[in-house]
A and B are shown apart, each in its own frame.
Chain A
Amino acid sequence: MRMHSLILRTAGHFLLPLLILFSLWLLLRGHNEPGGGFIGGLVAAAAIALYLFTMDLQAARKALWVDPRNLIGIGLTLAVLSAIPGAVLHGQPFFTSQWWPMTLPLLGEVKLSTPLIFDIGVYLVVIGSVLTIVLFLAEAEE
């Protein structure tokens, strides 16, 4: 599995945090512009997969620090739960978007919302399911 290339290994160390940051940026940008949980999750999963190629299975698991199968369940639960606040708080139909705009120092106006929770859920599910498959294949090969 491991590729013996000095360039790749050096680049991999630097690329992992950058790609994760990029995936988070895609996730947050997704509400009004191209991006979102699905594509962000794919980028994050690709980042870990790249790390797997440059290092080894143990290192990739460590970099992920959580079993990908847990991510699937947590993500799905978050996505389903995002349907509920509007129904409980305001008696609106399920999945009605709720917006909680707030002003933070440094960042300015930030809009927290249930679509964001849904997107984070999707993000986690995508990372979880892609990496479950990838790590399983890597394990089978070893």
Chain B
Amino acid sequence: MSHVVALPVLIPLLAGSISLIFWRSHSAQRWIGVIANAALLVASLWLLRETWVHGHLVMHMGNWPAPFGIVLVSDLLAAIMIVLTGITGLATALFSLSSIPREQERFGYYPLLHLLLAGVAGAFLTGDIFNLYVWFEVMLVASFALLILGGERAQMEGAIKYVTLNLLSSALFLTAIGLLYGVAGTLNMADLAVKLAEVPPEQSGLLTVIAMLFMIAFGIKAAAFPLFFWLPASYHTPQVAVSALFAGLLTKVGVYSLFRFFTLIFDQDVAFTHEILLWMAVLTMLSGVLGAAAQYEFRRILSFHSISQIGYMILGLALFTPLALVGGIIYIVHHSIVKASLFQISGLVYRLRGTYELKGLGGLFRSHPWLSILFLIAALSLAGMPPLSGFMAKFIIVRAGLEAGAWVAVFFALLVGLLTLYSMLKIWNEVFWKAGPETQHEVPTRGQSPRLTYYYLPIALFAVMTILLGVAIQPIYEIAERSASQLLDTRGYIEAVLGVQP
């Protein structure tokens, strides 16, 4: 048994409590944020290594045995997601150093950030459905608060939609948990995988209903079609560091839960459930990208693209072949990095020019060529240009789609890629290439140019990562491949949690 499984949850929890003790000192909180998130990243890499060597890592919390107590389980998918949590967490902590106003630090920005990360890590690692629900709530409470820090009118408007739809999702989630417990008498995921396989066929209709409830609940969290409109209404309103964290990490929790549930637990009626997932994926891709085409605000465009990219990940799950799952997992990794980076770039542009409206921007290529190149790397990666990470991710999913004969889905996946490119080029033209507006004014940097380092640092690191993911895909591909085979063959997971089955 290895203690590293619990560290990704424990580190942010401890960091959050300690930064609450230092609530008077802003600089102490800032550096606790950086140090704790660096520690989280190290712990997550260690976890990935251990999981790669040992297969599954399980910890029975409080030493209570499996189907009764709560277990933390790390398989490769969970470990990959935890590494993403570490990367995005550290990038956000660095980016926050100079971008978060003092006023918001005073209202507990850093403790909330740690709480959010603890919730996300807990959701990735838990092996118990009710515990997953609790982590979702922890995450939501923290995200509500982060969303309205600052208290502007637009923030309140976005937060109301966000809260309402997420509460609806939580209610559905809880209903589904209740029904599932009624059918199976357990909520431990591994135990469920065993028990549901033995459910008599006349009850399988009920199981499908429960599966659908979970699908809708997680679909809302992941911002999938049709209940996605809370995302573009809210993601452009908070501080950019928060937007980047939300877009990079938070929606992935919904996607991760779909991956976990529809491989481990609900694989009885694949023909039905995964067909629905397929259409959900196609419509999500399409509605997101079409929504983005009509937008002329930097962060709103990015928000709409988040939705369409979620579609690709769900498509990977829906095709349900080993290659498609590999594609889905690589897509999650790619999108976390690129989308967080794009949001941070929008924040830096705002810092330089004081607006997010494309109309009021321009000429940045002339004044900040390096920033423009960083944007171009991230944007082209998002649109799927070789040799960047987006190309590999899209290529694998499209290839899997062709092999599975899902022609319609493949057609839309390629079309959406093209439309994404259009959208990214629109931003490129308006913000960087065209001449600046007549009344352009450089927002005075108030002699703080060294502090811009903390803007550039995470963005540059993200750019390096997306290039590396595209050029040197092999190690990540191998991890994703073994992770996909773990997902498709659930025996390893069940044995690791429950002990060897008789």
Which residues 58-89 of A have a CB within 8 angstroms of B?
Answer: 69-70, 72-74, 76-77, 79-81, 83, 86-87
- Is the beta-carbon distance between A94 and B10 smaller than 8 angstroms? yes
The docked-state distance in angstroms from the alpha carbon of A76 to that of B19 is 10
Q: Find B61's partner among A70, A74, A79, A95 (CB 8 Å cutoff).
A: A95
A79, A83, A93: most-surrounded residue (chain B CB, <10 A): A93
Q: How far is the CB of B475 from chain A (nearest CB, A)?
A: 30
Residue numbers in B under 8 Å from A87 (CB-CB):
3
- Asked if A97 meets B23 with Cβ closer than 8 Å, knowing A73-B17, A77-B17, A77-B18, the reply is no
A76-B17, A83-B10, A94-B10 known; A69 vs B62 contact (CB < 8 Å)? no
A113 within 8 A of B: no
Interface contact B23-A93, CB-CB below 8 Å: no
A95→B63 CA distance, assembly (Å):
8
In the assembled complex, which residues on chain B have CB atoms less than 8 Å from the CB atom of A94?
3, 6, 10, 59, 61-62
A94 to B3, CA, bound (A): 8
B1 beta carbon closer than 8 Å to chain A: yes
Q: In the bound complex, what is the Cα–Cα distance between A70 and B10 (angstroms)?
A: 21
Contact residues in A for B10 (Cβ distance below 8 Å): 80, 83, 94
**Residues of the A chain whose Cβ atoms lie less than 8 Å from the Cβ of B13:** 76, 80
Q: How distant is the Cα of A72 from the Cα of B60 in the complex, in angstroms? A: 28
Contact in complex: A93, B1 (CB < 8 Å): yes
Q: How far is the CB of A84 from chain B (nearest CB, A)?
A: 8
Residue ID in chain B nearest A87 by CB atoms: B3
B6 touching A76, Cβ below 8 Å: no
Give Cα A92 to B22, complex, Å. Answer: 31
Name the residue among A73, A86, A97 with the largest chain B CB count within 10 angstroms.
A73
Contacts of A95 in B (CB 8 A): 61-62
B1-47 residues at the A interface, CB under 8 angstroms: 1, 3, 6, 10, 13-14, 16-23
- CB distance B63 to A96 under 8 Å? yes
Alpha-carbon distance between A81 and B19 when the two chains are bound, in angstroms: 14
**A86, B17: Cα distance in complex, Å:** 20
Q: Is the CB of A72 within 8 A of B20?
A: yes
* Cα–Cα distance between A86 and B59 once the two chains are bound (Å): 13
- Chain A interface SS verdict (over half): helix
**Which chain A positions have C-beta within 8 A of B1?**
91, 93
Out of B14, B21, B62, name the residue touching A70 (CB < 8 Å): B21
Over the window 89-126 of chain A, the binary record of Cβ atoms lying under 8 Å from chain B Cβ atoms (1 yes, 0 no) is 00111111100000000000000000000000000000
> Smallest distance from the beta carbon of A126 to chain B beta carbons, Å?
14
Q: How far is the CA of A87 from the CA of B10 in the complex (A)?
A: 12
Q: How far is the CA of A141 from the CA of B21 in the complex (A)?
A: 27
B6 touches A93 (CB 8 A): yes
Residue of A nearest to B69 (CB): A93
A76 and B16 in contact, given A69-B23, A94-B10 (Cβ under 8 angstroms): yes
- Asked if A73 and B20 sit within 8 Å, CB to CB, the answer is yes
CA separation between A95 and B10, bound complex, in Å?
A: 11
Q: B-facing mask of A48-63, CB < 8 A → 1, else 0?
A: 0000000000000000
**Contact present for A73 and B18 (CB under 8 Å):** yes
Residues from chain A with Cβ under 8 Å of B16 in the complex? 76
Q: Which residues on B sit within 8 Å (CB–CB) of A92?
A: 63
Instruction: Kindly list chain B residues whose C-beta atoms are within 8 Å of the C-beta of A79.
Output: 17
Q: Which residues of A have CB within 8 Å of B22?
A: 73
Q: Does the CB pair A80–B6 fall under 8 Å?
A: no
State how many angstroms separate the Cβ of A15 from the closest Cβ of chain B.
Answer: 30
Our pick among B18, B19, B23, B62 for the contact of A96 (Cβ within 8 Å) is B62
Establish whether residues A77 and B3, one from each chain, have CB atoms under 8 Å apart when the complex forms.
no
Whether the pair B23, A77 counts as a contact (CB closer than 8 A) is no
Measured CB to CB, the closest approach of chain A to B221, in angstroms, equals 26
Within the complex, the shortest CB–CB distance from A75 to chain B, in Å, comes to: 8
CB neighbours of B62 from chain A (8 A): 93-97
Contact check, A93 vs B21: say whether CB atoms are below 8 A apart: no
Contact check: which of A69, A70, A93, A97 meets B60 at CB < 8 Å? A93
**What are the residues of chain A within 8 A of B18 when measuring CB–CB?**
73, 77
**A69 CA to B62 CA in the complex, in Å?**
29
Cross-chain contact A93 with B17 (CB below 8 angstroms): no
A92 to B18, CA, bound (A): 24
Residues of A within 8 A of B14 (CB): 77, 80-81
Mask, B297-315, CB within 8 Å of A = 1, is 0000000000000000000
Given contacts A80-B17, A83-B10, contact A73 B23 (CB under 8 A): yes
- Find out whether the CB atom of A73 lies under 8 angstroms from the CB atom of B21: yes
Identity of the chain A residue whose Cβ is nearest the Cβ of B7 in the assembled complex:
A94
Give, as a whole number of angstroms, the nearest-CB distance from A91 to chain B. Answer: 8
Per the 8 Å Cβ criterion, residues 17-75 of A in contact with B are 69-70, 72-74
Chain B residues with Cβ under 8 A from A76's Cβ? 13, 16-17, 20
Q: Which of B3, B19, B21, B60 contacts A74 (CB 8 A)?
A: B21
Q: How far is the CA of A93 from the CA of B5 in the complex (A)?
A: 10
- Could you say which residues of chain B place their CB within 8 Å of the CB of A69? 20, 23
Residues on the B chain within 8 Å of A91, using CB: 1, 3
Are B20 and A93 touching (Cβ within 8 A)? Answer: no
Please give, as numbers and ranges, the residues of chain B lying within 8 Å of A97 by CB-CB distance: 62
- B11 CB to closest chain A CB, in angstroms? 10
Chain A interfacial positions (CB closer than 8 Å to B):
69-70, 72-74, 76-77, 79-81, 83, 86-87, 91-97
Pairs across A and B, CB under 8 Å, 25 listed: A70-B23, A72-B20, A73-B17, A73-B19, A73-B21, A73-B22, A73-B23, A76-B13, A76-B20, A77-B14, A80-B10, A83-B6, A83-B10, A87-B3, A92-B63, A93-B1, A93-B3, A93-B59, A93-B60, A93-B61, A93-B62, A93-B63, A95-B62, A96-B63, A97-B62
Q: List 12 additional contacts besides A69-B23, A81-B14, A92-B63; criterion CB under 8 Å.
A: A70-B21, A73-B22, A74-B21, A76-B20, A77-B14, A77-B20, A80-B14, A80-B17, A91-B1, A93-B6, A94-B10, A96-B62
Q: Which 3 A-B pairs have the closest CB atoms?
A: A73-B20, A73-B21, A76-B17
